Amino acid sequence: MVNRIISDYIIIGSGLAGLYAAHLASKFGTVSLLTKHSLQTSSTYWAQGGIASAIDEEDSPELHFEDTIRAGRGLCNENAVRILVSEGPKRINEFISDGLSFDKIGNSYELGLEGGHTRRRVLHLGGNETGRFIVEFLSQRIKESKNITVFENFLVHNLNINDKICYGCFAYSWNKKTDYTFSSSVTLIATGGAAGIYKRSTNPHSSIGDGISLAYKAGIDVINMEFIQFHPTAFYYETGKTFLISEAVRGEGAYLLDKNGKRFMKDFHQSAELAPRDVVSKGIFQVMKEQNVEYVFLSLSHLDNEKIKTRFKNIYEASLKYKIDLTKDLIPVSPAAHYTIGGIGTGLNGETKIAGLYAIGEVAYTGVHGANRLASNSLLECLVFSFRAIEDSLKRINNNLSFANGTQEYFVDNDVNSLYLKLKHDVHNIMNRSVGIVRAKKSLEDALELINQIDSGWNYKKNEYYSDRLKSLKMVASLVIKGAICREESRGCHIRIDFPKEDKILYNINQSINAGITRIKLYA
């Protein structure tokens, strides 16, 4: 049996982009909010740093623009960046007016400094629990809305597209073991990124690029998938467990030390520990390779103890579980896959080439991050472009849904779950080993061959759930690898040891992948 749900909006994903879009859309119509797990399992929930916005009198959108462009290494869409930095403060002030209270010192906001920024402009909540506070704030608003229905533990496996118009999606309810057809005038993909395809990742391992896979299967171009940003300082533990050590820790003065206790980032960039993320990650990688070690150290022992305990409360408490005291001990850290800069190609309103279909947040490629995301710009992007997408979508509300017919039945056999998890781990290991911070043609080609060899032969009844999960995982991993093979240069967070320099010919050039790889110039 297939259930049918009709609403004005379908929003797939429950990170900041999805929650904020649902909150906004509920003012104009009914909303079906679908999430693969619960509202609290998105990458946003774990975001520590904060939201960058030029709200201080000593700052300006122009300075924020310049910092973003500089970090993006020649691949930022300047129009998108202008929108981000100019509209960002408006969205922040609306959030504040709605009741969200950012951390303050006295009557002034406590603004953090992070890598690549020339001004303190990062707003935060609960010290370094910004993501959790925002998700809980919006989740409460969503629960209070009569226009929003939340569907948790729903896997969206296909979009419902007819004649280049999106009429909704097909989903499977894990709890009810039932198929659903969701129909709407407007569908927004807000499923987050794909950094969970790596073994060592700051993301939940459920973040495997579901939305990117949905769009790619529907014939929509994905852009610059080779650009996976690695966060420089993820906690290192020999079992593989990790958690993020916020960029803000270095913003407050923490040092990176090699195994001999020497600060080394001054050897790589004049801003030392506050260099852009790609520079810091590459510096750490090089030191680890030269010294044949698995990690370097982060030191906060020279900073104020009480400030560490309050400003970075959850990092302090998480480290204590591993018998490490941030106020006096060295913290083992190494880079981990963190953010998907590439994604579904969109316009400046989040629109795709399929009418009625939008992509917002990390799943989308708006061009604001270029080849390397400036710290704490990601949450701001969610706010700005979710708002623009909902505003643009108003012209489509109440459109005729007469073509939104069709159902898809899904079959699930839990007996193959253990096999799926084993093959998923195989993909994780391949990506970590061969498609990491530093790459080379031979290892990339070998990785692509290994990914293709991983068994996905479950195309028969009763196994579609896990078959599709593995196909999606392999597809997204392959898109990253293909993009990395074709971009024969080092730019931003894509580093090729066989092409160690930026290629002037590839300045302002995006790589769009559909049937093949097409290079698109940003500015003619």
pLDDT 10s digits, 317-349: 889 999 999 999 999 999 999 999 999 999 999
- Residue 360 CA to residue 383 CA, distance in Å, equals 9
Which residue(s) pair with 510 in the sheet? 520
The mean predicted confidence, pLDDT, of the chain is 91
- Residue 32 CA to residue 156 CA, distance in Å, equals 12
pLDDT score at 456: 56
Q: Is the per-residue pLDDT at 367 higher than 70?
A: yes
Q: Annotated catalytic, 277? A: yes
| Domain 3-191+207-220+344-396 CATH superfamily | FAD/NAD(P)-binding domain (3.50.50.60)
- Residue 431 CA to residue 278 CA, distance in Å, equals 18
pLDDT score at 224: 96
Domains 3-191+207-220+344-396 and 234-335 share a fold: no
Confidence of residue 401 (pLDDT cuts 50, 70, 90): low
Average pLDDT over residues 438-452: 97
- Residue 458 CA to residue 465 CA, distance in Å, equals 9
Coil, helix or strand for 11? strand
Which range in 20-34, 124-138, 166-180, 292-306 is most confidently predicted, on average pLDDT?
A: 20-34
The residue ranking higher by pLDDT, 378 or 455, is 378
pLDDT score at 480: 97
Average pLDDT over residues 121-142: 89
Q: Is the per-residue pLDDT at 462 higher than 70?
A: no
The residue ranking higher by pLDDT, 50 or 390, is 390
Q: Is the per-residue pLDDT at 517 higher than 70?
A: no
Catalytic residue (choose from 277, 311, 373, 487): 277
Q: Is the per-residue pLDDT at 163 higher than 70?
A: yes
Helix ranges (H only) for 225-276 are 247-251
Q: Which of 395, 109, 115 is nearest to 233 (CA)?
A: 115
Q: Is 334 exposed, middle or buried (0-12, 13-18, 19+ CB in 10 A)?
A: buried
pLDDT score at 524: 40
In contact, 202 and 195? CB cutoff 8 Å: yes
Long-range pairs of 172-180 with CB within 8 A, sequence gap ≥ 24: 172/410, 172/412, 172/465, 177/412, 178/1, 178/2, 178/3, 179/1, 179/2, 179/3, 179/407, 179/408, 179/409, 179/410, 180/2, 180/3, 180/4, 180/5, 180/151, 180/154
- Residue 42 CA to residue 35 CA, distance in Å, equals 9
Average pLDDT over residues 248-260: 92
pLDDT score at 522: 62
pLDDT above 90 as % of the chain: 72
pLDDT score at 47: 63
Q: Which fold has domain 414-521?
A: Methane Monooxygenase Hydroxylase; Chain G, domain 1 (1.20.58)
- Residue 295 CA to residue 255 CA, distance in Å, equals 14
pLDDT above 70 as % of the chain: 92
Percentage helix, strand, coil for the chain under 3-state DSSP, each rounded to 5: 35, 20, 40
pTM for the model stands at 0.93
- Residue 335 CA to residue 87 CA, distance in Å, equals 32
Coil, helix or strand for 10? strand
Residues 6+ apart with CB under 8 A from 294: 236, 238, 288, 334
Q: 234-335, which class in CATH?
A: alpha beta
Q: Is the per-residue pLDDT at 43 higher than 70?
A: no
Residues 6+ apart with CB under 8 A from 148: 22, 23, 26, 30, 31, 33, 142
- pLDDT tens-digit profile of 470-491? 889 999 999 999 999 999 999 9
Q: What is the dihedral of CA 103, 107, 108, 112, to 10 degrees?
A: -30
Residues 6+ apart with CB under 8 A from 176: none
Of the given ranges (80-84, 176-180, 413-417), which has the lowest mean pLDDT? Answer: 413-417
Average pLDDT over residues 141-155: 95
Average pLDDT over residues 301-305: 90
pLDDT score at 283: 95
Rounded to 10 deg, the angle between the 61-71 and 78-97 helix axes is 130
Distances (CA, A) of 9 to 22, 169, 214: 8, 11, 17
- Residue 284 CA to residue 358 CA, distance in Å, equals 37
Residues 6+ apart with CB under 8 A from 361: 13, 15, 16, 17, 18, 190, 192, 381, 382, 385, 386
Number of H helices and E strands in the chain, helices first, is 13, 24
The residue ranking higher by pLDDT, 454 or 364, is 364
In contact, 291 and 258? CB cutoff 8 Å: yes
Q: Is the per-residue pLDDT at 200 higher than 70?
A: yes
Confidence of residue 493 (pLDDT cuts 50, 70, 90): very high
- Residue 328 CA to residue 373 CA, distance in Å, equals 31
pLDDT score at 115: 86
Category of 488 on φ-ψ map: left (φ > 0), alpha (ψ -120 to 50) or beta: beta
Q: Is 364 exposed, middle or buried (0-12, 13-18, 19+ CB in 10 A)?
A: buried
Confidence of residue 41 (pLDDT cuts 50, 70, 90): low
* Spans of all domains in the chain: 3-191+207-220+344-396, 234-335, 414-521
Q: Which of 106, 67, 73, 104 is nearest to 88 (CA)?
A: 67
Of the given ranges (34-48, 80-94, 333-347, 469-483), which has the lowest mean pLDDT? Answer: 34-48
Confidence of residue 129 (pLDDT cuts 50, 70, 90): confident
pLDDT score at 102: 93
Using the Cα atoms of residue 168, residue 209, residue 276 and residue 127 in order, give the sign of their dihedral: positive
Which residue(s) pair with 396 in the sheet? none
